[in-house]
Homo-oligomer: A and B are copies of this chain.
């Protein structure tokens, strides 16, 4: 079906994907990223083969409207879901490649105020920097756990800004993770742009105002989920996310996406309630997951990642028999 001439709208031909990549500006630091990935995967590929590696994507991707970019279209995402999920996955024994939008929420920072650097610290009379009392434990935990994860080789952070960077990096990670077979998980929580302006048809300079309304025509970004699943990393356990603002169409669209792209699970979330509950859509049915409301510092990512890790365990077992 994927290669069918009589294609459906969301199943792009390989030629569309190729043309997206061909026209994308090349990654600036491809060699350095490739090197880091190789090291990280080698480090986490023990002979016993028990370490699992998740690629968690997080934050929104941007679509530039000019080559020398002043304006761009962005997809709203604080990155909170991806950051919190990364913490839980590491706690459950995973190594995580965190592919995140520059400037969005990072793992271990989710319980801190937005403006953590300036809010959490003070300078004493003796000219020492110290943590303000109310944040003391949270700050200590954040810094300690973050350093431990990075130093222990369990967290590799790779930032992106544009849709072009994101998709090129996702492909690199997927291809590098192939050697992990079913122990590899893709947890695709980033809010990926659906529409873009092809690099070559983009204005080089800032679009001038002063001559009336502006019309922008945007093409659809080819959906890369099928090609990730079928070609880039065919053995990996793949979870995608579907966000809608309209609850009516959410579950139906999530299930359609699951079938169309061959996902092992699709997490359906509605914009307004997404921090309280989500629904995990699998081929066995739809499983609602709720934040534990009896505890103020709990998040919905904890039961969500727990459920998905259990499913991943079953998947690995089935793959090995």
> Which residues of A approach B to under 8 Å, CB–CB?
9-10, 62, 65-66, 68-76, 102-103, 106, 108-109, 112, 114-118, 120-123, 127, 129-131, 139-140, 142-144, 146-147, 191, 193-195, 204-207, 209-220, 243-246, 271-272
Contacts A118-B143, A243-B70 given; indicate if A213 touches B209 (C-beta within 8 A): no
> Among the listed B74, B215, B271, which residue makes an inter-chain contact with A74, where contact means beta carbons less than 8 Å apart?
B74
Of B109, B144, B212, the residue contacting A117 (CB under 8 A) is B109
Instruction: Report whether A70 and B191 are in contact in the complex, using a CB–CB cutoff of 8 Å.
Output: yes
Q: Whole-angstrom distance between the alpha carbons of A2 and B205 in the complex?
A: 30
Contacts A10-B210, A216-B216 given: A122-B103 contact, CB under 8 Å? no
16 A-B contacts (beta carbon < 8 Å): A62-B74, A66-B245, A68-B272, A70-B76, A71-B74, A71-B75, A73-B73, A109-B117, A109-B118, A118-B143, A123-B147, A129-B139, A206-B244, A213-B218, A215-B215, A216-B218
Contact status B123-A115, CB under 8 Å: no
Q: Which residue of B lies closest to A68 (CB)?
A: B245
Of B106, B220, B246, which one neighbours A212 at CB under 8 angstroms?
Answer: B220
Q: Is there contact, CB below 8 Å, between A143 and B115?
A: no
Q: Is the CB of A74 within 8 A of B76?
A: no
CA distance A146 to B219 in the complex (A): 45
B205 & A246 in contact (Cβ 8 Å cutoff): yes
Contact status B76-A71, CB under 8 Å: yes
Query: What is the chain B residue whose CB lies nearest that of A243?
Result: B70
By the criterion CB–CB under 8 Å, are A216 and B213 in contact? no
Tell me which of A69, A102, A118, A220 has the highest count of chain B C-beta atoms within 10 A of its own C-beta. Answer: A118
Interface pair B245/A205, CB less than 8 Å apart:
yes
- Complexed CA–CA distance, A115 and B102 (Å): 9
Chain B residue contacts of A127, Cβ below 8 A: 140
- Take A74-B71, A217-B214, A245-B206 as given contacts and tell me if A108 and B103 are in contact as well, using a CB distance cutoff of 8 Å: no
Q: Assuming the A-B contacts A118-B143, A214-B218, are A73 and B65 also in contact, with contact meaning beta carbons closer than 8 angstroms in the complex?
A: yes
Given A9-B212, A123-B143, A204-B245, 13 more A-B residue pairs with CB atoms under 8 Å apart are: A10-B209, A10-B210, A73-B73, A74-B74, A103-B103, A127-B140, A194-B207, A206-B243, A206-B245, A209-B220, A214-B217, A214-B220, A215-B218
Could you tell me the distance between the alpha carbons of A212 and B218 in the complex, rounded to whole angstroms?
9
Which residues of B are found within 8 Å of A140, using beta-carbon distances? 123, 127, 129
Pick from B139, B206, B215, B244: contact of A216, CB under 8 Å: B215
Q: Is the CB of B219 within 8 A of A213?
A: yes
